[in-house]
Amino acid sequence: MNPWNERFGLDEYAYGELPNVFIEEQAHRLKGERIVAFAEGEGRNAVFLARQGYRVTAWDYAENGLKKTEKLAKRFQVQVETELKDLLHDSVPSEAYDGAFMVFGHFPKADQKIVFDKLLAVVKPGGIIMLEVYSEDQIRYQTGGPKSVDMLYNPADVLAWTSGHEVLHFFYGEQRREEGRLHTGVGHVIQVVLAKKQRF
């Protein structure tokens, strides 16, 4: 049973219909036109970027999330391409996008770098990657996210993964998130915006 498919099977949007604040604030850094959203859930960020004129693809492994992405895109009269994808086990196209992002993609520690490396792999050299995830400190806040430290992120790990690339923004600390009924109040996050290393 896929718990996310169940969660996204309800009529309401679990995390609301508005974009994540970090994506809204950092979207100006995106270049090019093709953007891919990792673990995009019900599509709020993908639809927001499509409304800014980007060609957006949304990946998730919960079919109900993708259906709601399509529904939200239709309501805003934009196009978002959706694809059912298990980010741990499915391959991703190499250097096919100008940008990639992931907001609150929850994966076990042993698998987190696999997903981050795929974020890097899908973008062209010079392309932009944006990430906002809950830090291990989020356990103390109880305002959303996984209840296990193994599913949360360590800032030193995340910084290490960015090595060799141009870090445009890095943040580790408290942020308020009011996103549907599941992210409510002050939480503890890690944010990264980087430009993928150019080939010379």
pLDDT at 118: 98
Say whether pLDDT at 122 is over 70.
yes
Give percent of the chain above pLDDT 70.
100
pLDDT at 75: 96
Q: Which two structure tokens, joined as six digits, stand for 167?
A: 């870090």
pTM for the complete prediction?
0.95
Those residues with Cβ within 8 angstroms of residue 125's Cβ, 6 or more apart along the chain or in another chain: 95, 196, 197, 198, 199
**What does DSSP say about strands 97-103 and 123-134: parallel, antiparallel, or unpaired?**
parallel
Mean pLDDT of 103-126: 97
Mean pLDDT of 84-90: 96
> Structural domain boundaries of the chain?
3-195
Mean pLDDT of 123-139: 98
Buried b (16+ CB within 10 A) or exposed e, 10-39: eeebbbbbebbebbeebbeebeeebbbbbb
pLDDT tens, 24-83? 999 999 999 999 999 999 999 999 999 999 999 999 999 999 999 999 999 999 999 999
Domain at 3-195, CATH class: alpha beta
Q: Could you give the CA distance from residue 34 to residue 57 in angstroms, rounded to a whole number?
A: 8
Say whether pLDDT at 1 is over 80.
no
- The confidence band for 200, taking pLDDT boundaries of 50, 70 and 90, is confident
> Quick one: which H or E segment has residue 185?
strand 183-195
pLDDT tens, 140-195? 998 999 999 999 999 999 999 999 999 999 999 999 999 888 788 999 999 999 99
- The confidence band for 98, taking pLDDT boundaries of 50, 70 and 90, is very high
